[in-house]
A and B are shown apart, each in its own frame.
Chain A
Amino acid sequence: MKTALYAGAALAVVTVALGATAAQAQTRQTIQIAGSSTVLPFASIVAEEFGAAFPEFNIPVVGSGGSSGGLRQFCEGVGDNTIDIANASRKIRTAEVEACAAAGVTDIREVVIGYDGIVFAVNADKGDFALEPVHVYKALAAQVPVDGEMVDNPYTSWADIDSSLPDQPIALAIPAGNHGTREVFEERVVVPGCEEAGVDDADACITFRQDVVVEIAGDYTETLSRLQSNTDTIGVFGLSFYEQNTDTLKVATVSGVEPSMETILAGDYPVSRPLQFYVKGAHIDAVPGIAEYVEFFLSDVMAGAGGRLEEAGLIPLEADTRAQIVADFNEGVQAAAE
Chain B
Amino acid sequence: MSDMSQSAALDRRERVRNGLSRRHRGEAIFRGIGIAAIAIALALVGTLFWQVLSKGLPAFTQATLHLDVTFDEDVITAGPAPLRSDYASAAQYEAAFLDWRRALAGINWAALIEQAVRAEMPELDAEASDIRRLVDNNAGLTLRQMYQDDPALLNQTLNVALLGSADTDNWLKGTIDRSLPDARQQLSAVTRAIADRFAADGVISMDFAWHIFTNTDSRTAPASAGLAGAFVGSLYMMLVVVVLAVPIGVASAIYLEEFAPKNRFTDLIEVNINNLAAVPSIVFGLLGAAVFINYFRLPISAPIVGGLVLTLMTLPTIIIATRSSLRQVSPSLRQAALGLGASRTQMVFHHVLPLTLPGILTATIIGVAQALGETAPLLLIGMNAFVANIPGTPLDQSSALPVQIYLWQGNENRNFFEARTSAAILVLLGLMITLNAIAIFLRTRLERNK
Contact = CB atoms under 8 A, between A and B. Distances in A.
Interface of A: 1-2, 5, 8-9, 11-12, 15-16, 19-20, 22-24, 26, 28, 30, 32-34, 37, 40-41, 43-45, 47-49, 51-56, 58-59, 61-65, 73, 76, 79-83, 124, 218-222, 224, 240-241, 244-247, 308
B180 A81 contact: no
Given A44-B388, A221-B412, 8 more contacts: A11-B247, A23-B297, A44-B386, A56-B98, A61-B389, A245-B414, A246-B183, A247-B415
B101 A55 contact: yes
A48 B387 CA distance: 9
A1 B357 CA distance: 10
A61 B387 CA distance: 5
A244 B251 contact: no
Interface string B377-389: 0000010111111
B318 to A, nearest CB: 12
A73 B397 CA distance: 16
B70 interface: no
B251 A9 contact: yes
Interface string B139-161: 00100100000000000000000
Contacts of B414: 221, 224, 244-245
A233 B319 CA distance: 49
B186 A52 contact: no
Nearest to A45: B220
A52 B251 CA distance: 48
A267 B34 CA distance: 66
Interface stretch (B23-31, B41-49, B298-306, B440-448): B298-306
B101 A221 contact: no
5 contacts: A23-B296, A32-B301, A32-B382, A56-B98, A247-B415
Nearest to B144: A52
Interface string B356-372: 00000000000000000
A37 to B, nearest CB: 8
Nearest to A52: B105
A65 B412 CA distance: 16
B219 A26 contact: no
B247 A247 contact: no
Given A9-B251, A34-B385, A83-B300, A241 B412 contact: yes
Given A81-B294, A221-B409, A11 B220 contact: no
- Between B102, B240, B382, the greatest number of chain A beta carbons within 10 A of the residue's beta carbon is seen for B382
Nearest to B311: A12
A276 B144 CA distance: 31
A80 B184 contact: no
A62 B186 contact: no
Contacts of B162: none
A89 to B, nearest CB: 14
Nearest to A33: B385
B299 A23 contact: yes
Given A1-B349, A221-B412, A244-B413, A12 B243 contact: yes
Give me the 8 closest cross-chain CB pairs, A-B, nearest first: A63-B385, A44-B219, A219-B410, A8-B247, A62-B386, A61-B397, A59-B388, A45-B220
B346 to A, nearest CB: 9
A40 B389 contact: no
B297 A80 contact: yes
A55 B98 contact: yes
B243 A11 contact: yes
A59 B220 CA distance: 13
A47 B388 contact: yes
Contacts of B69: none
B185 interface: yes
A221 B411 contact: yes
Interface in B69-108: 98, 101-102, 105-106
A26 B395 contact: yes
B354 interface: yes
Contacts of B220: 44-45, 48-49, 308
B379 to A, nearest CB: 9
A25 to B, nearest CB: 10
Given A221-B412, A246-B186, A247-B180, A8 B385 contact: no
Contacts of A245: 412, 414
Given A12-B243, A218-B410, A247 B389 contact: no
B226 interface: no
Given A64-B385, A221-B414, A247 B186 contact: yes
B349 A59 contact: no
A1 B244 CA distance: 17
Contact of B300 (A32, A37, A40, A52): A32
B207 interface: no
Contacts of B141: 52
B176 interface: yes
B218 interface: yes
Interface in B177-224: 177, 180, 183-186, 218-221
B293 interface: yes
Contacts of A246: 183-186
B184 A247 contact: yes
Contacts of B177: 247
Contact of A12 (B176, B221, B247, B388): B247
A19 B386 contact: no
From A55, A224, A247, residue with most partner B Cβ within 10 Å: A247
Contact of B102 (A53, A58, A65, A82): A53
A34 B415 CA distance: 26
Contacts of B395: 19, 22-23, 26
A40 B246 CA distance: 38
A32 B381 CA distance: 13
A12 B244 contact: yes
B304 A5 contact: no
B316 interface: no
B429 interface: no
A148 B126 CA distance: 60
B389 to A, nearest CB: 5
A15 B397 contact: no
B170 to A, nearest CB: 9
